[in-house]
Structure 1
Amino acid sequence: NNKLELANGDTVEYDYLLIATGPKLYFAELEGSGPEGHSHSVCSINHAETFWGQYQKLIEKGSGTILVGAAPFASCFGPAYEFAFILDTDLRKRRIRDKFHIKFVSSEPYIGHLGLGGVGDSKGMLESEMRSRHIPWVINAKTTKFEANKCFVDVMNDKGELVESQEIDFDMAMMLPAFFGVDAVTAVEGLCNPRGFVMVDEHQRNPTYKNIYSAGVCIAIPPVEATPVATGAPKTGYMIESMVTAAVHNIHAELLGKEPEEQGTWAALCLADMGDTGAAFLAIPQIPPRNVAWFKKGKWVHLAKIAFEKYFIRKMKKGSSEPFYEKTMLKMMGLTRLKD
C-alpha cells in the first residue's frame, strides 16, 4: 500500500522509498558478546564512551590484556585494525605499553583481507605493522562465546575444518559484531535476503518492489569470496555515496517517466588512522576484479584522516554532499560516483 507504519502508530505514504537504515548490531548471534555481555563495541558513540570509561579503569590498574577483533559474519574489519593500532599508540604515549598485551582475533582468512580479498599489498603491510607493534593475531577465528574475561574461539584451517579450540583470557575486549537487517525492514516479505539485507539490482532498486530503492550498509552484497569462517563485504563511505547518487538519479528519472539507467561505481577510497601513522587504500571498484588497487602507508595518512573528518563534518552541516572542487580532485584520481 506504499505506506510506512511508524512506532507511534502514525503512517506515512510514499510514491518512492529510499531505505538507508544502516544495520542492526547483531550481538545476539554471538553468546555473551556486546555491551550487555562481556565485550565492547565502537559501533556507536555510546558504545565507544562505555569502552573509554572502562579503559580508564584498566589504565589505573596498571596492566592487563586487551582483546580486539571481528566476529564471524562481520563485514567491517577496518575499524578493528584502527582500534588496535590506536590503542597501541596511546599506551606507548603513556609509556606503559610494556605493561599491556594486545591480541587480535579475526574471522578473516589472513591479516589484511578486510572482507575484500585484500587491496594491493594490504596483507604484507598490515602483517608488518602488527609485528612491529607486538600484536599477535589469530585468523580464521570462529569466535563462539564470551564469558567474563574469557573468549572462546574455534580456529579453522583453509578447508573450514577445526584445527583447535582456544580460550583467550582478557581484561577488556572490543569485538566488532556481525550486522543484520533492522527489524522493520526484515519484516517485509520479498524485500530482504535471509540476513535481513535489502536486495537491490544494479540501479539500487529492489527487484520485488520497484518503487523501493536502498543504499548503504543495509543492502545485500554477496561476499567477495568463500572463506573458511564467514565474512561479509564492507560498504565503505565513498562506495555508499555512489549508491545514493545512483538511487537519487534513478528516482528522478522515474518521476520524469523514464527507466532507471544510472549505476554507482561502488569504488572505495579509505583512510585508516593508526594513531601516529596511517594507511590509505583505493579500490576501483571495491569488489574485485578491479581496475585500480593500491595501498599506501605513512604519517601523512594520519594527518589526512584528521583533516578529512573535519572537512566531511563541515560539508554535511552545509548540506553540500559533493562540492565541485572535491568532484574535480577525485575525478583526477579516476574516482567518480556514477559509471560512464
Structure 2
Amino acid sequence: MTTVIVAGAGLGGVSAAFELRETLSKEVNVEVVNEGEEFNFVPSNPWVAFGSRTRDQVALPIGPIFDKHDIDFNGSGIKHIDPEARRLTLGDGSQKSYDFLVICTGPKLAFEQVPGAGPENGYTQSICTVDHAVKAHQAFEQLLENPGPVLVGALPGASCFGPAYEYVLSLEYELRKRKIRDRVPITFITPEPYIGHMGLGGVGDSKGLMEHKFREHGIKWVCNAKVTEFSNNEASFDVLNEDGSSRGSQQLPFHLAMFLPAFKGSPAVAEVTELCNPKGFVKVDKHQRSVAYPEIYAAGVCVAIAPIEETPVPVGAPKTGLMIESMTSAIVANIKATLEDEAATAEPTLSALCLADMGNTGMTFLAVPQNPPRNQNWTGSGRWVHWAKVGFEKYFFHKVRHGTSEPVYEKVGMRMMGLSRLKPKDD
C-alpha cells in the first residue's frame, strides 16, 4: 500500500491531509505526524492576546477529527528524517516508512538570535503560538494595572510582519477604550526599510496607509532597526542607513514588549542538509517538490523563498494562507499525477493575502503574484476587514471540523474584495 505522510498539522498540514484523503484512492494510506495534539488557527492568536478569544476558541484536538476521516495521526513529532530509506523516526521512538512525504512543519522561532528575546527565556511577548498569546494576554492585563511605555515590532530577519501591525493597532484601540492611552507611549520598531513594507516591498499604498494610521493614533516608529538585546525593562537596537552603515544605537524603556522573531526550519528538517538551505528551509522546484528528493514535497513557512529585495536590515518574504493553500493543492495534484504515472505539472499561484484586525477597524492587502511586478496590487481598510477576518476564522474551523479540502482563503478572499467595494472606508 502507498503511504503519504504529512508532517505538521497547522494550516498547511490540515489542508494537505484533507485534500489528499479526498483526492487519492482509498488504497492510499494518508497519515499525519504533528508536534502536539492540537490544531491552532494562528491568525486568531492576536485576539487571544487581548482577551476577545480564549485558548479553547482558537485551538482544538485534531486527532479525533483525522480519525473520523480515515487519516492516521501521531502527535509525538518527528525526531529524524532518513530520506534515502524514506523513513521517519518519531518522538515516541517509533518509525514510519513513506512513499511520499509532505513537509508542513512551519518554523522554529529563532528568539535565541537576540539576547533577552522571547516569552520562555526572555523579556518579550509573542503571538506566534496560542500558548504565547495566552502569556501575552497576562502581560496585557499587567500593563492595564501598571501603564507605561510599550514597544512592538519585529527582530532582524523576520518575515511575518502583519501580526505586529495588527497587535500594535489593536493594543492602541484597547487602551483608548479603557481611557488610559495617554499613559502608554507606543513605539513600533522594525527591520523594514519603511512602514508597510511587509517583506513584500510594499503592496499598493501600504506605506501611506500605515504611516497615516500610526500618525492618527500617535504611534511612533523606527525603521531599519536592528534589535540587539532586551533587558527586563529596556530594548537596545542599532538604526542603519540605507547603505547599511550605522546611524547610531538607541535604548528605549518598556513595560510591555511584543516582538516577532526570525524563523528557521524545524530541527528534524534542518538537519537534512541536502534538503534545505542554511536556515533550514526546504528547497523546492516550481512544483513544490524537493530539489534533492523528488518524493518529498513542502508547503508553507518551511519552504525556502528568497527575499524580494535586499534591505539594510535583512527581512524575509512572508507565506500567507492564500499562498499555502495553493501550495498544498499543487502538491496533491502532483502526487496524484505521479501515482497515475503522469508528469507532475501543477504549480502554486504564490500570491499573498493578509488581513490585520485593528480593534474597531482593519487593513488588508492582496498581491498577485507575491513578487512584483504584479497583476493585482491592492490595499484596503475599514471596519469590514474585521468581519472578513471573523469569516476566515469561521470558515477555516468549519473546514477543519468537517475535513473538507475547500480553499477557504480563495473563497473568503474573493468575497472580501467584493465587500470592500460596497462598504465605506470608515475607521
Bucket of the pairwise TM-score, normalised by the shorter protein: over 0.9
| Aligned partner (choices 144, 149, 154) of residue 59 of structure 1 | 144
Q: Which runs of 4+ in 1 moved over 4 A?
A: 323-329, 331-334
Question: Residues 102 and 325 from structure 1, CA distance in 2 versus in 1: closer, same or farther, beyond 3 angstroms?
Answer: closer
Q: Does 1:188 align with 2:272?
A: yes
Rounded to whole Å, the distance in 1 between the matches of 2:190 and 2:412 is 38
Same amino acid, percent of matched pairs: 53
Cα deviation for residue 96 of structure 1 reads: 1.0
Match of 1:38 in 2: 123
Relative to structure 1, the CA distance from residue 2 to residue 303 in structure 2 (aligned partners, 3 Å threshold; closer, same or farther) is same
1:225 equivalent among 301, 309, 330 = 309
The aligned residue for residue 146 of structure 1 is 230
Q: Which of 315, 332, 337 does residue 248 from structure 1 map onto? A: 332
Question: Which moves more between the two structures, 244-253 or 321-330?
Answer: 321-330
Between the aligned partners of 1:239 and 1:166, the Cα distance in structure 2 is 37
Q: Which blocks of at least 5 consecutive residues in structure 2 are unaligned?
A: 1-84, 419-427
Is residue 173 of structure 2 the alignment partner of residue 89 of structure 1? yes
Q: Is the 8 A contact 2:388 2:412 kept in 1?
A: no
Q: Distance in 2 between matches of 1:49 and 1:331?
A: 31
Please give the secondary structure, in 2, of the residue aligned with 1:202: coil
Q: Would you say 1:284 and 2:368 are equivalent positions?
A: yes
Taking the TM superposition and a 5 Å limit, the aligned residue runs for 1:160-179 are 160-179=244-263
Q: Which runs of no fewer than 5 residues in structure 1 stay unpaired?
A: 335-340
Measure, in 1, the Cα distance between the counterparts of 2:415 and 2:280: 34
The alpha carbon displacement at 1:314 in A equals 1.6
Offset at 1:248? 0.9
**Counterparts of 1:325 and 1:83, CA distance in 2:** 21
Amino acid corresponding to residue 140 of structure 2 in structure 1: Y
Specify the alignment match of 1:71 in structure 2.
155
Q: Distance in 1 between matches of 2:406 and 2:101?
A: 22
Question: Which of 48, 73, 76 is matched with 2:133 structurally?
Answer: 48
2:183 pairs with 1:99: yes
The 1:159/1:329 distance shift into structure 2, 3 A limit, reads closer
* CA deviation profile, 1:169-198 (whole Å, cap 9, x unmatched): 111100100000010001112000000000
- Cα 1:202–1:25 change in 2 (3 A) is same
Would you say how many aligned residue pairs link Structure 1 and Structure 2? 333
Equivalent residues in 2 for 1:259-270, closer than 5 Å: 259-270=343-354
Q: CA RMSD in A?
A: 1.9
Give a deviation string over 1:42-97, Cα, whole Å, max 9, x none: 10111111111122122112x20111000000000000000000000100111111
* Distance in 2 (alpha carbons) for counterparts of 1:78 and 1:269: 10
Q: Relative to structure 2, which stretch is displaced further, 285-294 or 233-242?
A: 285-294
Could you tell me how far apart the structure 1 residues matched to 2:326 and 2:304 are?
Answer: 16
Post-superposition shift, 1:211?
0.6
TM-score of the pair, normalised by structure 1: 0.94
